[in-house]
């Protein structure tokens, strides 16, 4: 009780900064608008009672949980689903599931906000996507008598080390959780080492492996590829972060010296950086156009800046090779998920920092489907190697797809454990 009280005091102190970041207007970022009250538990009444409550913090988690939501509705069409997100970009992604779920913003981790929310929504249980754990939320939900399950749970060694230093807080979280469905055995072992009872833990695999590339996405990718140039080599740098774009552009400059007609699709991770990256690319001397401008494509274009949201699969499907961002900026980010390009059958490249996706990256490396590089020079060399060795490019792409197919089934396993008492 004392620990939670101290935590709540600290939360009061830091919440203005969090809210400023959440509500700050940025070009390309959707606004929360009048729905800001939902962050304080003042949630509009739902259409259905006792929904299954699923929390997915932002865009990536919403995309990942979408297949599970579709499968739940397929088996139980009458099951109402409440999907919460914290961010406005997550809300925008959730809107694409409007025929399957009702969306609300997740209340801040204040007891009063959570209790307001629970009284308005009356959920039947809570599923938390990955490891979005908040002390007051877990306490209030458990006190209301609801089961709490963490699905697609992952725990990096870095996060485990941090939790071990504040074991009292972690115990406060863990005691309110009924079940943790982990992506990998490594994740499960770290939870156990932190003191979670073994009977609370199962390994289901990652639901992100259960990717289905729809015919619509494939068609859109083909159309985009035709627009960009069916015969020209294309590589994509996906989910890039500040400090990384310069390195990618330096690598692309070297690629162009060897393969002059190569096109780079550059996809910044955060929409508020779209204009900054555009200016950076232009200032570096590249002929660049934005996807949103619908500018006519021609052979002189060297960089195609993807400044739209929710189109990653389409963009990946139009490329020959993928570099995954968040991996060339030291240990700030820890990489991003290689599964989407792998599911499309692309050979992948990643920087040395991928601690958030160690298991997946290692599996792909073991299958010779991805290459780890250390700097922009190695990145450029690897892109050149793959673009000039079509057979190797195809072999790595097939190996990537095979890894995905061999690991599918997490959704079925997740549903199995959710249905057990």
The count of domains in the chain is 2
27 has a pLDDT exceeding 70:
no
Judge if 415 and 375 occupy the same domain. no
Angle at 199 between CA 194 and CA 204, to 5 degrees: 90
Judge if 39 and 86 occupy the same domain. yes
Q: Which residues are catalytic?
A: 61
DSSP H or E segment with residue 324: strand 321-324
Instruction: Answer yes or no: is 173 within a domain.
Output: yes
- All residues at 6 or more sequence positions from 89 whose CB lies less than 8 Å from its CB, including other chains: 29, 30, 58, 59, 271, 309
Which one, of 321, 308, 317, lies nearest residue 348 by Cα? 321
- The pTM score is 0.72
Residue labelled with tokens 């009702």:
102
Judge if 203 and 158 occupy the same domain. yes
Runs of H (alpha helix) within 259-350: 274-283, 312-317, 339-344
289 has a pLDDT exceeding 70:
yes
Please tell me the distance from the alpha carbon of residue 406 to that of residue 414, in angstroms, as a whole number.
17
At residue 325, the pLDDT reads: 97
Judge if 200 and 251 occupy the same domain. no
Please give the average per-residue pLDDT across 288-317, as a whole number: 92
Instruction: Answer yes or no: is 6 within a domain.
Output: no
Three-state DSSP state, 409 = coil
Instruction: Answer yes or no: is 294 within a domain.
Output: yes
Tell how strand 321-324 and strand 370-372 pair up. Answer: unpaired
3 has a pLDDT exceeding 80:
no
pLDDT digits (tens, 9 = 90+) for 93-131: 899 898 999 999 999 999 999 999 999 999 999 999 988
Return the half-sphere exposure (C-beta side, CA atoms, 13 A cut-off) of residue 186: 16
Instruction: Answer yes or no: is 11 within a domain.
Output: no
At residue 394, the pLDDT reads: 97
Residues in the chain, total: 421
Give yes or no for a contact between 274 and 303, defined as CB atoms under 8 angstroms apart.
no
Judge if 359 and 389 occupy the same domain. yes
Joined tokens for residue 254: 């070297």
Instruction: Classify residue 8 by burial, with Cβ atoms within 10 Å: 0-12, 13-18, 19+.
Output: middle
Percent residues over pLDDT 70 in the chain:
99
At residue 316, the pLDDT reads: 98
The band of 293, judged by pLDDT with boundaries at 50, 70 and 90, is confident
Judge if 388 and 414 occupy the same domain. no
Instruction: Answer yes or no: is 344 within a domain.
Output: yes
Please tell me the distance from the alpha carbon of residue 31 to that of residue 338, in angstroms, as a whole number.
29
Joined tokens for residue 73: 């509705």
Cα 26 to Cα 22, 89, 242: the distances in Å are 10, 12, 16
Judge if 415 and 382 occupy the same domain. no
Instruction: Answer yes or no: is 21 within a domain.
Output: no
At residue 245, the pLDDT reads: 97
At residue 164, the pLDDT reads: 87
Joined tokens for residue 148: 């709490």
Judge if 236 and 384 occupy the same domain. yes
At residue 28, the pLDDT reads: 62
At residue 283, the pLDDT reads: 97
Which CATH number covers residue 266? 3.40.50.2000
Please tell me the distance from the alpha carbon of residue 355 to that of residue 157, in angstroms, as a whole number.
8
Instruction: Answer yes or no: is 42 within a domain.
Output: yes
Judge if 205 and 219 occupy the same domain. no
Sheet holding 263-268, edge to edge: 288-290, 303-305, 263-268, 234-240, 321-324, 348-350, 370-372
Give yes or no for a contact between 228 and 361, defined as CB atoms under 8 angstroms apart.
no
Q: Which of 28-32, 92-96, 304-308 has the lowest average pLDDT?
A: 28-32
The band of 355, judged by pLDDT with boundaries at 50, 70 and 90, is confident
At residue 421, the pLDDT reads: 64
Judge if 290 and 230 occupy the same domain. yes
Runs of H (alpha helix) within 122-211: 135-143, 157-165, 167-174, 185-193
| Mean pLDDT (the chain, rounded) | 92
At residue 417, the pLDDT reads: 92
The band of 358, judged by pLDDT with boundaries at 50, 70 and 90, is confident
Please give the average per-residue pLDDT across 128-137, as a whole number: 90
Judge if 372 and 229 occupy the same domain. yes
Which one, of 297, 300, 268, 299, lies nearest residue 287 by Cα? 300
Residue labelled with tokens 């870095």:
158
Judge if 352 and 227 occupy the same domain. yes
Please give the average per-residue pLDDT across 230-238, as a whole number: 97
User: Which domain, by its residues, includes 50?
Assistant: 27-210+409-419
Which CATH number covers residue 79? 3.40.50.11720
Sheet holding 102-105, edge to edge: 102-105, 81-85, 52-55, 125-129, 148-153, 179-182, 201-203
Instruction: Answer yes or no: is 10 within a domain.
Output: no
What does the DSSP 8-state code read for residue 131?
A: S
**Of 409 and 170, more confident:** 409
């Amino acid at each position: 009780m004392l620990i939670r009280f101290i935590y709540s005091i600290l939360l009061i102190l830091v919440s203005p900064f969090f809210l400023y970041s959440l509500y700050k207007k940025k070009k390309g970022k959707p606004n929360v608008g009048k729905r800001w009250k939902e962050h304080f538990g003042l949630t509009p009444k739902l259409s259905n009672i006792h929904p299954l409550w699923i929390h997915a913090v932002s865009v990536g988690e919403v995309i990942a949980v979408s297949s599970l939501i579709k499968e739940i509705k397929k088996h139980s069409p009458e099951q109402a689903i409440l999907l919460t997100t914290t961010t406005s970009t997550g809300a925008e992604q959730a809107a694409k599931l409007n025929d399957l779920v009702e969306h609300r913003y997740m209340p801040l981790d204040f007891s009063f906000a959570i209790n307001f929310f629970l009284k308005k929504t009356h959920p039947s249980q809570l599923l938390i996507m990955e490891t979005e754990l908040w002390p007051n939320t877990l306490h209030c939900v458990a006190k209301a008598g609801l089961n709490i399950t963490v699905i697609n749970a992952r725990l990096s060694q870095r996060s485990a080390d941090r939790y071990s230093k504040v074991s009292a807080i972690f115990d406060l979280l863990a005691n309110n959780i009924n079940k943790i469905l982990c992506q990998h055995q490594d994740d499960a072992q770290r939870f156990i080492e932190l003191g979670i009872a073994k009977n609370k833990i199962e390994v289901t695999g990652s639901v992100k492996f259960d990717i289905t590339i729809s015919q619509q996405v494939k068609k859109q990718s083909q159309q985009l590829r035709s627009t960009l140039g069916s015969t020209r080599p294309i590589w994509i740098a996906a989910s890039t972060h500040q400090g990384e774009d310069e390195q990618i552009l330096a690598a692309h400059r070297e690629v162009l010296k060897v393969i002059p007609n190569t096109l780079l699709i550059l996809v910044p991770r955060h929409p508020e950086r779209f204009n900054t990256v555009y200016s950076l690319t232009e200032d570096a001397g590249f002929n660049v156009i934005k996807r949103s401008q619908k500018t006519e494509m021609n052979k002189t274009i060297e960089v195609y800046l993807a400044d739209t949201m929710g189109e990653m699969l389409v963009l990946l499907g139009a490329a020959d090779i993928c570099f995954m961002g968040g991996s060339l900026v030291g240990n700030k980010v820890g990489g991003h998920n290689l599964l989407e390009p792998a599911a499309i059958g692309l050979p992948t490249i990643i920087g040395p920092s991928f601690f958030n996706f160690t298991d997946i990256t290692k599996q792909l490396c073991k299958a010779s489907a991805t290459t780890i590089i250390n700097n922009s020079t190695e990145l450029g060399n690897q892109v050149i190697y793959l673009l000039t060795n079509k057979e190797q490019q195809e072999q790595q792409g097939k190996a990537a797809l095979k890894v995905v197919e061999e690991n599918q089934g997490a959704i079925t396993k997740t549903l199995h454990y959710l249905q057990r008492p």
